Amino acid sequence: MSRIERTAEGAGPFTTRLTWRLGDGGTAVWESRRARKRGLLTVRAAGDSGSRSRRADHASVGRLRRLNAIAAIAFTVGGGLFAAGAAVAQFGPGDATGAWIYFVGGLFFNTGGYASLLQAVNAPRQTNGIGALAARPWRWWSYEPGRIDWLSTFVLFVGTLVFGVNLLSSLLQGLSTQQVNRLIWAPDMVGCTLFLISGHLALVEVCHGRPGIRAGDLGWWIVAVNQLGSVLFMVAAVADFTRPTTASVVNVDIADWGTLAGALCFSAGGVLQYFERP
Is-above-0.85 flag for pTM? yes
How much is the pLDDT for 128? 54
How much is the pLDDT for 120? 94
How much is the pLDDT for 126? 72
Cα separation, 167 vs 172, in Å, equals 10
Give the type of residue at 159.
G
Report DSSP state, residue 175.
-
How much is the pLDDT for 46? 62
Residue 65 contacts residue 71 (beta carbons within 8 Å): no
Mapping DSSP to helix (H, G, I), strand (E, B) and coil, where does residue 97 land?
A: helix
Cα separation, 200 vs 196, in Å, equals 6
Q: How many CB atoms lie within 10 A of CB 178?
A: 10
How much is the pLDDT for 1? 44
Mapping DSSP to helix (H, G, I), strand (E, B) and coil, where does residue 216 land?
A: coil
Question: Is residue 10 exposed (0-12), middle (13-18) or buried (19+ Cβ within 10 Å)?
Answer: middle
Give the type of residue at 89.
A
Beta bridge partners of 20: 6, 28
How much is the pLDDT for 174? 86
How much is the pLDDT for 233? 97
Tens-level pLDDT at each residue, the chain (278 residues): 454 567 888 888 998 888 877 666 678 888 889 989 998 887 776 656 667 777 888 888 999 999 999 999 999 999 999 999 999 988 876 667 888 999 999 999 999 999 999 999 998 887 655 567 888 889 999 999 999 999 999 999 999 999 999 999 989 888 899 999 999 999 999 999 999 999 999 999 999 998 999 999 999 999 999 999 999 999 999 999 999 998 899 999 999 999 999 999 999 999 999 999 88
How much is the pLDDT for 8? 82
Residue 185 contacts residue 240 (beta carbons within 8 Å): yes
